[in-house]
Amino acid sequence: MPSFKKVKLDNKDMIIDFLDSQLKDRKERYENLFKFSNFLSKGIKEDHPLGSCIKDSKGLIQGYIGCFAHRSPYHKNNWILNMTEWVVSSKYRAYSLKLLQHFLKDNSLIFTNFSASVNVQKILPRFGFQVIDEGINYYSVLSNMNFNILSTKLMMGKKAQEIFKNTKHEKLIDEHIKLGGILISSANGRGYIFFKKKMRFFGILNLIHTINFNNEDFSRDWSEICKIALINFFSNIIKIDCRFSPKGIIPKKNKKRKMFVRGLNYNGIIPSRAFSEPLQSIGDIECF
């Protein structure tokens, strides 16, 4: 019979080799999963959650669910675990759901999945996950810019950070900026955190987190944000989860992708995606 175990840092090399044997040619990506988890665990003394695995009678890895975990200042400093890879060898495929049960067994934690495959989208609701979004909108920066508006109301850099000094948002903003995040804020405390994905000629800005957000204010800031995107970051596309999309602005296209959360209190703040995705796939980060 196989055994189900919490992943320890000592298992790293075995899991990387297992993933490489199952999925091929992506070894550097799997190494980065652990590097990013190590970055998130800095300053945390207790064991950092890394996921769950299946071991056979010889102690070899036969299945793995990984996660990025961080303590959230918005959720009583509770752990939030976002699922990354979920891979089980063909011989042990019958134990896939038991592996998921092992991963989810602590009901005091919050779990997210922002990148579920079509098959996983069908499974997660059976295990207590709720849909928090139905997709991602893509906006053309050029078609939404107003060249008559000077970008004087919104701030970036240290000026933007000063707005949130000594607030509950300060720690989260600081961590996002260390990961390569871009903070754009208004004088009255609205904040938008982006990550840039570099392309060959232009870039794409991904909206990862919002502070004191509502759709109508976002619509009023929209032209200035588009101008900042193009002029400061040479980005011609902005990607935004549907729930955050500026009201009344028509997207260029929509990508259907359900996003899930489990264990979030009613009306609780949805966790930031910056701690929920392999950021090396979003942009260049310096934390390694």
Per the structure block, which two tokens stand in for 225? 């944000």
Distance of CA 177 to the CA centre of its chain: 14
What are the residues whose beta carbons fall under 8 Å from the beta carbon of 223, sequence distance 6 or more?
144, 145, 146, 149
Give the single-character DSSP code of 105: -
pLDDT score, position 196: 86
Per the structure block, which two tokens stand in for 260? 């899930």
Find the length of the chain.
Answer: 288
How many Å is the maximal CA-CA distance in the chain? 69
What string of pLDDT tens digits covers the 288 residues of the chain? 899 999 988 888 899 899 888 887 677 777 777 777 776 766 555 578 889 999 999 999 999 999 988 888 888 888 999 998 899 999 999 999 999 999 999 999 999 999 888 999 999 999 999 999 999 999 999 888 776 665 568 999 999 999 999 998 998 898 888 888 899 999 889 999 998 876 667 789 999 899 998 888 899 899 999 999 998 999 999 999 999 999 889 999 999 989 999 999 888 888 888 777 655 454 344 433
* Structural domains of the chain in order of their starting residue, each with its CATH number: 3-108 (3.40.630.30), 135-257 (no CATH)
- Burial (CB < 10 A; 0-12, 13-18, 19+), residue 274, is buried
Residue 266's identity, in one-letter code, is: Y
User: Are the beta carbons of 178 and 285 closer than 8 angstroms?
Assistant: no
pLDDT score, position 101: 97
User: Are the beta carbons of 151 and 162 closer than 8 angstroms?
Assistant: no
pTM equals: 0.86
